[in-house]
Amino acid sequence: MTGRIRWEDEPEGYAVTSDGFIGPIGWRWRAFKIWNPDTRVDPRPFLTSDLPGWDRSQHHGTPNELKAEAERWLSEFVASLGAVFPDEPAGGLLAHAGPIRSALLNSAAAEGVGDSSRKMYFDAVAALDRELDAAKETGQ
């Protein structure tokens, strides 16, 4: 499976061991976190999702298994919007940005979203719009 999530490890001692970012190059949206185990609850690391409307967590054995699970969740999320990931990217950013933009705007408008989260969603939409403008100029 193509790695659609960019993973960055956190320094040792942090509660989160890895952050998974999605989105076009030029902006980052942290959609997944792999947490260090809380041995009072479960001795294994666990994965959480910050995808709009997806309150999920998963206990597995290794960070690589959790990263594979995050890829599956991202594919399911995109499919829930009526889209799929092609085997090979086709159409560039212009062809794939619509569902992400819609999901971000829907999340920003959702009832109960705090001001800081709402700002994060609008900032992500603005960054995506800048990337779309640049892609249009270069014909991508």
> What's the pTM?
0.56
* CA 107 – CA 76 distance, rounded (Å): 17
Across all residues in the chain, what is the average pLDDT?
77
* CA 126 – CA 110 distance, rounded (Å): 18
**Tens of pLDDT, residues 71-120:** 888 888 887 777 766 654 445 555 667 777 777 787 878 777 788 877 88
Enumerate the domain spans of the chain. 6-80, 92-138
pLDDT at residue 87, as a whole number: 58
Cα four-point dihedral sign 5, 110, 130, 135: positive
**Tens of pLDDT, residues 51-60:** 887 777 777 7
